[in-house]
Chain A
Amino acid sequence: MNLSRLPQEVEAVLEGALVAILTVINERNEPVSHPMLPLYDREKGVLYFTSSILFSKKLEHIKKNPRVSVLISQREYVKSEQYHAVEIKGDARVLDRDLSREWQRLLPLWRKKEPYIDAYVKQRFALPLFWERAIIEVQPRKVRVWRDGDLEREPEHYSLGG
């Protein structure tokens, strides 16, 4: 099914997810997976991650090959009323021109998932390199949904234009 934006119930899962598995492609065309905190901007229909430059290998991989996939599964990791297992394939780009400040625009989304984050940010002098962060912006292209997280059920497929 072709859609202009993600289905609402998928957006709810993205907004409630505490962890997602982000898979990028390395220089040998192999998948490399990283559990990360997903941040979803419903207004823009874009999925974000922030990555410290301490763990920057994935950033280099995305710069060379922007194709990524994101999995959200496991009921207890999703704080939303409805739960579905969701896989998103998309095109990513790395925003790293201002590593010190740019990611802070995502703090309102981050705060909703980790309410204590501001206390850590205030202490950024304690882990200065950790708070030098790039933004990974993922534009969803294809979505696969196992409704209610039932993996024995045929998944629904959606494509997004763009």
Chain B
Amino acid sequence: MIQIDDLRKFEQVAMAFIDEDGYPSTIPLVTSRLDGDVKLKLPRGIEGGKVEGKKVNLILNHITPLPAGGYTDRRYIVFRGLSRVRDDTLSVEMEKVYTWDERTTPFPEYVEVSTSRARRYLEGIGKRLGETFRPSIGAFWSFFRTVRLPFLIATAVPVAIGAGAAFYRGFFDPILLLLTLLGLSCIHLALNVANDYFDTILGADTANRRPTPFSGGSRAIIYGIVNMQEARLIYTSLFVGGVVTGAYLAVTRGLLEIAILTGLGLFLSYFYTAPPLKLAYRGLGEVAVFLGFGPIIVLGTYFVQTQSIGLDAVAASIPIGLLIMLILYVNEIPDAPYDREAGKMTLLTRFTKAQALFFLAASFTATYLSISLIPLLNLGPASVMIALAGAPLAYRVYRGVKQNYGDPYRMIGVMSLNVKTAAITGSLLAAGYFIGAAL
């Protein structure tokens, strides 16, 4: 039953059974090698008759202690069955095996697949004590997780670019800029929560066993940080916040243009995941994100400042639209197997690895090409070319995706670098406009 190789992987070998006193007993076993097999023997002080024919657990366990304290590399196998003792040798007629090896099932995945058990336990205690229990991480972190606050960078950067392009043309009103940022942030955060809400209903988040800080949704609903009603209330309130701000800007700066842009933004944000359109489920998520975080935000910000829309603003919006789209795109790579399972047919679920990498390379190329074209087509200052400094980062993202494709945990660093690439390139692009205006 136990091979020599097992002993190399598991140093600790033990057995548990129910003792005559009614307590379980867990004892170490003596192991020796015999004719290429492993012989198990009871330790001194345990009579064979005490365990013969009993239901036992045979446990093989391993940890690697760390020199500075603690341990890593955990794995164990538990064989359950009836014990037999013959001529001093112990064997187990195996009925069931349970095992965990953190190399094959990384700890975060082990945690993830156990979520429903934890929720049931909390509900059980809640019933017993007459209270509602939920994971206690404090109000700030609950909000932070639920709305996915750090992703606001994807709104702040295009707003800065729109403001930069307007500034280059001689327009800048900081109050209007703050109001624009506020309204767009509300819509973006609403989009994040609505996305979780509908992904939970449609099964995409529930199916995902290997979420990361960048992929698999916020998990706020799955972990019970907020319930469905609360999530709906949060995204509705945030959408209302966005609409009210948009309405004010529309009335004061230009009714038709801002109404159209806000309406489009709301439409894409809500129907990104919400039925019946479920754009992300039809392979249209990337287009929606490109339009929403590129042209709609940049043109909207630009219009609020200048009360006009020009080709220069359109040109400014394309690179950042592509970069934010690529944040979504790269973050969807680890989700792809689970998205496919849930019928969320994003682009990545339809692509082979080669096609996925080609799309990534082509989009990055288009991003930096579109930046180069801004001064060449006389649609902005030459100083926007400083944004090309982000290109080496993009190359590192491409290389990282290629090397770690399909491994969610190894992709965490790449996904983080990809967000930085968008943020740095976009910020440099915005800075390029401000510098151009100053020169």
The verdict on B392 contacting chain A, using a C-beta distance below 8 Å, is no
Contact in complex: B137, A124 (CB < 8 Å): yes
The verdict on B12 contacting chain A, using a C-beta distance below 8 Å, is yes
Contact in complex: A146, B117 (CB < 8 Å): no
B22 / chain A contacts, CB cutoff of 8 Å: 67
The verdict on A136 contacting chain B, using a C-beta distance below 8 Å, is no
Tell me the residues in window 43-86 of chain B with beta carbons closer than 8 Å to chain A beta carbons.
Answer: 43-45, 55-57, 59, 61, 63, 65, 68-71, 74, 76, 78, 80
Q: A21-B14, A54-B117, A152-B44 are in contact. Are A30 and B80 (CB under 8 A)?
A: yes
CB distance from B324 to the nearest CB of A (A): 24
Q: A54-B117, A67-B24 are in contact. Are A99 and B125 (CB under 8 A)?
A: yes
Contact flags A100-138 to B (C-beta < 8 A → 1, else 0): 110000000000111111000000111111111000000
Count of chain A residues near B, Cβ 8 A: 63
Residue among B30, B55, B136, B138 with most chain A CB within 10 A:
B136
Contact in complex: B28, A128 (CB < 8 Å): no
The verdict on B351 contacting chain A, using a C-beta distance below 8 Å, is no
Closest chain B residue to A52, Cβ basis: B118
Query: Knowing that A33-B59, A129-B119 are A-B contacts, what are 20 other residue pairs whose CB atoms are under 8 Å apart, sorted by A's residue number?
Result: A19-B71, A31-B24, A33-B78, A53-B117, A54-B115, A69-B25, A71-B16, A71-B27, A90-B23, A99-B136, A100-B135, A114-B71, A115-B70, A127-B108, A128-B137, A131-B135, A146-B28, A146-B43, A151-B28, A152-B44
Residue pairs across A and B with Cβ atoms less than 8 A apart, 21 shown, are A22-B26, A24-B24, A31-B17, A31-B26, A31-B55, A52-B111, A55-B117, A59-B121, A69-B25, A74-B12, A99-B125, A99-B136, A100-B136, A114-B69, A115-B70, A125-B141, A129-B115, A141-B23, A152-B30, A152-B43, A155-B45
Chain A residues in the interface with B (C-beta under 8 A): 18-19, 21-25, 29-33, 35, 52-57, 59, 67-71, 73-74, 76-77, 79, 85, 87, 89-90, 96-97, 99-101, 112-117, 124-132, 141-142, 144, 146, 151-155
